[in-house]
Amino acid sequence: MRLPVTVVAGLAGRGKTGLIEAWRAKAPQSTALVIDRGDDFKFPRASDGAGEGEAGDPGLERVGGCACCTAGAALGAALRRLLRRGSWAHLLIDLNGGAHPSALIDALRAPPLAAALRLVELVSVIDAERLSERLAGTQRRWLCEQVQSAHRVLVWVPAAMSAAVVEERVGQVLSLVGETGFAPEIEVWREGTPAPAPGVGERWAAGVAVSGGLVLSPSLDQSEDSAPSALLAAMPGVVPRWCWRWRAPPDSVFDRPRLIEAMSAIAHSSLHITAVLRTEREWYRYHAGGWEPDWWRRDSRVLISFAPGELPGASVQLAAFADRLRASQRGT
| pLDDT tens by residue, 96-116 | 888 899 999 999 998 889 999
Residue 227 has pLDDT above 90, yes or no: no
Residue ranges and CATH numbers for the domains of the chain are 3-190 (3.40.50.300), 210-328 (3.30.1220)
Before 112, cis peptide (omega within 30)? yes
Q: What is the pLDDT of residues 199-214, one digit of tens each?
A: 877 666 544 555 566 6
Residue 117 has pLDDT above 50, yes or no: yes
Label residue 68 exposed, middle or buried (CB < 10 Å: 0-12, 13-18, 19+): buried
Residue 305 to residue 96: CA distance in whole angstroms: 37
Contacts of 104 by beta carbon, 8 Å cutoff, 6+ apart: 7, 67, 68, 71, 93, 95, 122
Among 113, 109, 120, 130, smallest CA distance to 16 is for 130
DSSP, res 199: P
* Model pLDDT, residue 209: 55
User: Is the entire prediction scored with pTM above 0.85?
Assistant: no
Q: What is the mean pLDDT of the chain?
A: 83
Higher pLDDT, 225 or 112: 112
**Local confidence band at 230 (pLDDT 50, 70, 90 cut-offs):** very low
Residue 48: other Cβ atoms inside 10 A: 7
Residue 2 has pLDDT above 80, yes or no: yes
* Model pLDDT, residue 53: 61
Higher pLDDT, 64 or 76: 76
Of 15-29, 67-81, 175-189, 246-260, the range with the lowest mean pLDDT is 67-81
Q: What is the pLDDT of residues 271-305, one digit of tens each?
A: 889 999 999 999 999 988 899 999 999 999 999 88
**Local confidence band at 221 (pLDDT 50, 70, 90 cut-offs):** very low
Residue 115: other Cβ atoms inside 10 A: 9
* Model pLDDT, residue 232: 40
Side-chain-facing half-sphere of 116: CA atoms under 13 Å? 15
Q: Which whole number is the average pLDDT over 213-219?
A: 59
Residue 46 has pLDDT above 50, yes or no: no
What percentage of residues in the chain have a pLDDT greater than 90? 52
Q: What is the pLDDT of residues 136-195, one digit of tens each?
A: 988 999 999 999 999 999 999 999 999 999 999 999 999 998 766 788 889 999 999 999
> From the DSSP assignment, how many helices (H) and strands (E) are in the chain?
9, 13
* Model pLDDT, residue 39: 46
